[in-house]
Amino acid sequence: MTTPTTAEVGRGSKKPTVVEIDGFRGRLINADHADYDIARAVWNGAINRRPHLIARCIGTADVVGAVRFARERDLEIAIRGGGHNVAGTAVCDDGIVIDLSAMRAVRVDPAGRRAWVQGGALWGDVDHETQAHGLATTGGIVSHTGVAGLTLGGGVGWLMRKHGLTIDNLLAVDVVTAEGKLLRASEDEHPDLFWALRGGGGNFGVVTSFEFRLHPVGPTVLAGPILWDAPEAGEVLRFYRDFLRDAPDELGTVVRFGTAPPLPVISRDLHWRPVLMIGACYAGPIEDGERVLRPLRACRTPLLDLVGPAPYVGFQNALDSTVPHGWNYYWKSTHLPELRDELIDVIVEHAFSCSSPRSYAAMFHLKGTVSRVAEGATAFGNRHASHAITLDAVWRPGEDFGDRDTAWTRSFFAALGRFREGVYVNFLGGDENPDRVREAYGDSVYDRLVNVKTTYDPDNVFHHNQNIRPRTGTPISRGTRAHPH
Ligand SMILES: Cc1cc2nc3c(=O)[nH]c(=O)nc-3n(C[C@H](O)[C@H](O)[C@H](O)COP(=O)(O)OP(=O)(O)OC[C@H]3O[C@@H](n4cnc5c(N)ncnc54)[C@H](O)[C@@H]3O)c2cc1C
């Protein structure tokens, strides 16, 4: 038999109330709890919200209990997976955080090439378990990012051009709906819900488990960054544009504009120097990768070429320390078309004019399998776009780069205006106009998402996210905006 877990909610102006969630086996953390400040902190240190209660679940029954508890009391709900979203939607003021961070188990079936991943796992957990069998699926390029939020928004990463977006490898989910019911969604069960969950974010329920298709990858791959001096950026980007036209799907690349981070693999004399860095990962035989990457590595004279055989797991966490938890972050983002000359000129003009040595822009090359999946087959919009760029202001607590580099992202974004081709919903910040959510999907996908939302969450219970509003019911209730600042 389980003992109810108790905690007090309603501090501050209200009288504290002792509450219990019947049968809850995880931890209930309120403002009196010693761990409250740690438990309410998310990756982005600029987010500072104070929920009444954090319900740290240890199983699906806890999630069901927490959803029902919140609904009975009409509490604001935030869902926390990895806590990584730049908009900080994993935590709310007042209300309850349904926190899955203690649910990180990963089970792998090597023969069937499947993985079952709990809703609070991080990509590092998945890569660790799957790579033990030489398998992987498309995940994010920073290993402390949550699987849940990333997957539900689409999922871009090194492997996407070969194996598709993360959602293209999603086979089924267990999801707790706004009514507190546990459903399995797949192509055969609640297919409308399954379609919406593949891109529509946390709008439709709390996902407690994901089932993914895996592929043979590595465990040693040809991967690494190539660095050029910032003044070379225009010429290198022109070369890169032409090089990409014939690049095989196995090759995933991300361009990073910023200073050379002080990583141990980068010699000290280059640290903090403005550079164009192209990270590459070849998801195929090493010798083929050597041949494919040779022209890019010979372009101009790189300052440093670190491409070589590397463990895929190690490559997946190589950038982790450049974007740690607790620093302050502000992002703007857009999809872009192929890099024609005028676009390259705009990028080069703005990319290196931020103030903080830690601010950067990152541009993911899409196409390949991503754009061969039919538009509308999943709820991920703008599959035809060539690149997804994020413009990321980064400053440490106490540093005064925040205002200047936030302004830098906005003016860079404005300059990209005439080239914009939609946006990746997971790269949207917390202060965006709600129209940008529609922009992320395009009209027909967005309208279909509204239909599914209206079926499964007509009262917009799950609105602390990049919100898709149902056609009927409470649009946004309890004083919290869909795009919290
Ligand atoms: C440093 C960094 C690197 C990144 N790199 C990539 C990348 O390479 N590729 C990429 O695609 N994206 C990347 N992202 C973006 C990432 O996809 C989003 O930030 C994503 O929201 C992170 O997922 P999370 O579980 O950590 O989110 P959280 O902050 O925990 O949650 C964000 C939202 O997701 C929803 N959600 C979370 N968990 C659940 C759940 N279990 N059930 C239902 N809804 C849930 C909720 O609506 C919640 O508000 C990166 C982000 C950062 C900060």
Q: Which residue's CA is the closest to the ligand 1 atom numbered 38? A: 81
Residue 388 has pLDDT above 60, yes or no: yes
Q: How confident is residue 473, by pLDDT bands cut at 50, 70 and 90?
A: low
pLDDT value of residue 226:
98
Pocket test for ligand 1, best of 57, 58, 80 (most atoms within 8 A of CB): 80
pLDDT value of residue 472:
76
Q: Does ligand 1 come within 6 angstroms of the Cβ of 43?
A: yes
Q: How many CB atoms lie within 10 A of CB 148?
A: 30
Residue 367 has pLDDT above 70, yes or no: yes
Listed in sequence order, the residues at least 6 apart from 14 whose beta carbon sits closer than 8 Å to its beta carbon are none
- Concatenating the DSSP letter of every residue in 52-116 gives EEEEE-SSHHHHHHHHHHHHHTT--EEEESSS--TT-TT--SEEEEEE-TT---EEEETTTTEEE
Ligand 1: distance of its center to the CA of 14 in Å?
A: 33
Q: Does ligand 1 come within 6 angstroms of the Cβ of 84?
A: yes
Angle, to 10 degrees, between the axis of helix 286-297 and the axis of helix 233-245? 140
Q: Give the model confidence (pLDDT) of 87-123 as tens digits.
A: 999 999 999 999 999 999 999 999 999 999 999 999 9
Q: Which residue's CA is the closest to the ligand 1 atom numbered 18? A: 85
Q: Does ligand 1 come within 6 angstroms of the Cβ of 150?
A: yes
Q: Which residue has the higher pLDDT, 481 or 45?
A: 45
Atom of ligand 1 nearest to the CA of 319: 1
pLDDT value of residue 280:
98
Atom of ligand 1 nearest to the CA of 153: 17
- Find the helix or strand (DSSP H, E) in which 280 lies: strand 274-282
Residue 393 has pLDDT above 50, yes or no: yes
The answer to whether the bond into 4 is cis (omega within 30° of 0) is no
Q: Give the model confidence (pLDDT) of 300-349 as tens digits.
A: 999 999 999 999 999 999 999 999 999 999 999 999 999 999 999 999 99
R_g of the chain computed on alpha carbons:
22
Angle at 163 between CA 162 and CA 166, to 5 degrees: 135
CA distance 250 to 285: 9
* Residues 164, 138 contacting (CB under 8 angstroms): yes
CA distance 105 to 119: 9
Angle, to 10 degrees, between the axis of helix 341-351 and the axis of helix 233-245? 140
Q: Give the model confidence (pLDDT) of 2-55 as tens digits.
A: 444 555 554 343 444 557 899 999 999 999 999 999 999 999 999 999 999 999
CA 150, chain centre distance (Å) = 4
Listed in sequence order, the residues at least 6 apart from 158 whose beta carbon sits closer than 8 Å to its beta carbon are 138, 141, 223, 252, 254, 281, 283, 315, 316
The b/e string for 307-336 (b: 16+ C-beta within 10 A; e otherwise) is: beebebbebbbbbeebbeeebbbbbbbbbb
Q: Checking DSSP bridges between strand 328-336 and strand 304-305, what pairing results, if any?
A: unpaired
* Residues 46, 25 contacting (CB under 8 angstroms): no
Ligand 1: distance of its center to the CA of 153 in Å?
A: 8
CA 72, chain centre distance (Å) = 31
457: DSSP letter: -
CA dihedral 291, 293, 150, 152 (to 10 degrees): -60
CA distance 441 to 48: 29
Q: Give the model confidence (pLDDT) of 152-211 as tens digits.
A: 999 999 999 999 999 999 999 999 999 999 999 999 999 999 999 999 999 999 999 999
Q: Does ligand 1 come within 6 angstroms of the Cβ of 46?
A: no
CA distance 483 to 120: 22
CA distance 477 to 466: 15
Q: Give the model confidence (pLDDT) of 402-421 as tens digits.
A: 999 999 999 999 999 999 99
Q: Which residue's CA is the closest to the ligand 1 atom numbered 16? A: 150
Ligand 1: distance of its center to the CA of 144 in Å?
A: 10
* Helix (H/G/I), strand (E/B), else coil: 19: strand
* Helix (H/G/I), strand (E/B), else coil: 128: helix
Atom of ligand 1 nearest to the CA of 254: 8
Q: Which residue's CA is the closest to the ligand 1 atom numbered 28? A: 83
Q: Does ligand 1 come within 6 angstroms of the Cβ of 141?
A: yes
pLDDT value of residue 181:
98
CA distance 191 to 204: 13
Listed in sequence order, the residues at least 6 apart from 41 whose beta carbon sits closer than 8 Å to its beta carbon are 83, 325, 326
Atom of ligand 1 nearest to the CA of 156: 11
Q: Does ligand 1 come within 6 angstroms of the Cβ of 140?
A: yes
Q: Does ligand 1 come within 6 angstroms of the Cβ of 426?
A: yes
Classify the C-alpha dihedral 183-189-191-197 as positive or negative. positive
Q: Give the model confidence (pLDDT) of 254-280 as tens digits.
A: 999 999 999 999 999 999 999 999 999
Token readout for 130 is 């799957």
Q: Where are the beta strands (DSSP E) in 128-205?
A: 135-136, 170-176, 182-186
CA distance 71 to 176: 13
Q: Which residue's CA is the closest to the ligand 1 atom numbered 19? A: 85
Ligand 1: distance of its center to the CA of 176 in Å?
A: 18
Q: Does ligand 1 come within 6 angstroms of the Cβ of 101?
A: no
Classify the C-alpha dihedral 309-370-420-475 as positive or negative. negative
Proportion of the chain above pLDDT 70, given as a percent: 93
Phi-psi region of 294 (alpha: psi -120 to 50; beta: other; left: phi over 0): alpha
Is 0.85 surpassed by the pTM of this model? yes
Ligand 1: distance of its center to the CA of 166 in Å?
A: 12
Ligand 1: distance of its center to the CA of 126 in Å?
A: 15
Q: Does ligand 1 come within 6 angstroms of the Cβ of 85?
A: yes
Q: Which residue's CA is the closest to the ligand 1 atom numbered 13? A: 140
* Residues 44, 485 contacting (CB under 8 angstroms): no
